[in-house]
Every structure is written in C-alpha cells, then in structure tokens.
Amino acid sequence: MSTPYGLPPDTSKVKPFEWDEKYDFPRDLVGYGEKSFNPQWPGGAKIAVSFVINYEEGGEHTVLNGDMHSETHLWEAPGGSPKVQERAVNIESEYDYGSRSGVWRLFRLFNKHNFKYTLYAVGKAIEDNPAVGISSVKNGHDVASHAYRWIDYADMSPEKEKAYIKKEIETIAKICGSPPKGWYYGRLSSRSQALVWEVYKEMGVPLLWDSDSYADDLPYWVDVPAEKNEEKPMGMLMIPYSYGMSDPEKILVLK
C-alpha cells in the first residue's frame, strides 16, 4: 500500500516526537466556553474588522533567491512538483503581478475609503520594493511581520530561524521607520512562536501580538513556555487568522 502525504516509506525510522519545554505551547481546546466572551469593542460595536494585506512577492521559493527549488504555494495552479534548480517563470510572473500591480490596486481602494489595513510584510519582499512599506506608513497603516522569507520553516535550525527573525525586524525598522509590533508566519515551524518571542525579548523590542493561530473568533492570551519560572510573566496575545476569509480580511465577531 502506498504511503499518503509524502511520508517516508518506513516510518519506524523516524524519531518519535518529544515534548520540548522551551518551544512547545500547550493546546487549549476549551477556550472561552459556551457563553464565549464579550471583548467590549470601542463604542459598543458588535463586530471588529481587521483588514490584512499579505505582501510576499519576491520572498517566495526561487532559485534566484538561492533556493533549491521553485515555489508551489499560492498561485493559480497550486500543488504539483517544484522545479529543482530551475526557474518557474510562470509562478514568478504571478507573484510579480502582486508586486507590480495588485498591491497598488488594493492600496488605492483602502486609501480611497479611508479603511486602515495591516500590511503583513515579508522582509525580502519590501527590500525588493520598499515603496510598498513606505506608502503604507505614509498613509497611516500598520506594518507587521510576515517573516523575512515566504518559505517553509519546519526543517530550519533554531539558530538560522532566529537569525531570519532578527533580520526581518531590522529590515522593517529600516524601511518603515519602526520595528513590527505584530507577527504572522503562515508557514511556521513548531518552534517559531517561541523563537519570535525570544528574539523580540533579546532585542528589547515590544511584541504586542501574534497571529499564527486559527483557534478562535476572538483574541486570546497564551502562556509562553520560556516564562514558566518568571515572577511576572507577560504571556502572548494571539489574534487569530482565518484561511476562510484570507486575503485581505479577518473578521472578529462578538458572539
């Protein structure tokens, strides 16, 4: 029988999972419970709409960035096998559309109606096109982190991932004038949330929220494993993302 999902033929040779006290956040399957929670939105509002624009163009998998293979995510015909040590110019051109035209169409629409968005900016992407980040700041929008590269982080070493996190913070600060206060990976490793918290603390930069969660309709707090023995732990505020309403909006509903 064939093994599904690209698993190795002999899974007995795969190292069993081991809980990591430093990196693993406990799961919470209870949440706010049956009666949910009243977040008391300003002005007595019943709903809060958070608009997000993901800007990844130029930061995706491509041999032009020194990667082994081409991108396979988030284009008109996703899936299939990547091109190894070869350019996939059709995929590149779809990403190029977002950077050359699509993002500006969205910006014009939001600015016309004075709706504020959060730009989830991949560092490499705004390095290649700084005007995207500069325009967002000039027009009063927030710029948050979408990691330095739009790649898979699952098999990356903690040391290399920390270096990428630091580079992302520095890149956004340089181009947009201040470091990002929020973070959304999308293609994170099991260590990513703990590493983001760790790097922010080491750099003395405030991390106000993280959106690498799909677990609720409302924001919620989690304990950070590394703060387990601290006298005054701060925790981490999670603002859940949504694939179902992905790009460009996330709606937080008062139940």
DSSP state of 6: G
Least confident of 55-59, 126-130, 153-157, 243-247: 243-247
Question: pLDDT band for position 245 (50/70/90)?
Answer: low
Of residues 14 and 132, more confidence is placed in 132
Per the CB < 8 A criterion, the answer to whether 209 and 219 are in contact is yes
Alpha carbons 72 and 59: distance in angstroms, whole number: 13
Q: Output the pTM of the full model.
A: 0.89
Residue found under tokens 């973070």: 183
Question: pLDDT band for position 254 (50/70/90)?
Answer: very low
Q: Which amino acid is at 49?
A: V
> Is residue 237 within a helix (H) or strand (E), and if so which, with residue range?
strand 236-238
Of residues 162 and 77, more confidence is placed in 162
Q: Is the pLDDT of residue 120 over 70?
A: yes
For position 101, what pLDDT does the model report?
95
Per the CB < 8 A criterion, the answer to whether 83 and 70 are in contact is yes
Task: Average the pLDDT over 36-63 and give the result.
Answer: 91
For position 5, what pLDDT does the model report?
56
pLDDT > 90: what percent of the chain? 73
Q: Is the pLDDT of residue 3 over 70?
A: no
55 DSSP β-pair partners: 121
DSSP states of 186-230 as a string? SS--TTHHHHHHHHHHHHT----EE----S-SS-EEE--GGGTT-
Task: Average the pLDDT over 53-73 and give the result.
Answer: 91
Domains recognised in the chain with CATH numbers:
48-238 (3.20.20.370)
- On average, the pLDDT of the chain sits at 90
Alpha carbons 197 and 141: distance in angstroms, whole number: 23
Of residues 70 and 79, more confidence is placed in 70
Of residues 222 and 3, more confidence is placed in 222
Alpha carbons 8 and 14: distance in angstroms, whole number: 8
DSSP states of 127-176 as a string? HH-HHHHHHHHHTT-EEEE--SSBS--TTS-HHHHHHHHHHHHHHHHHHH
Task: Average the pLDDT over 156-180 and give the result.
Answer: 97
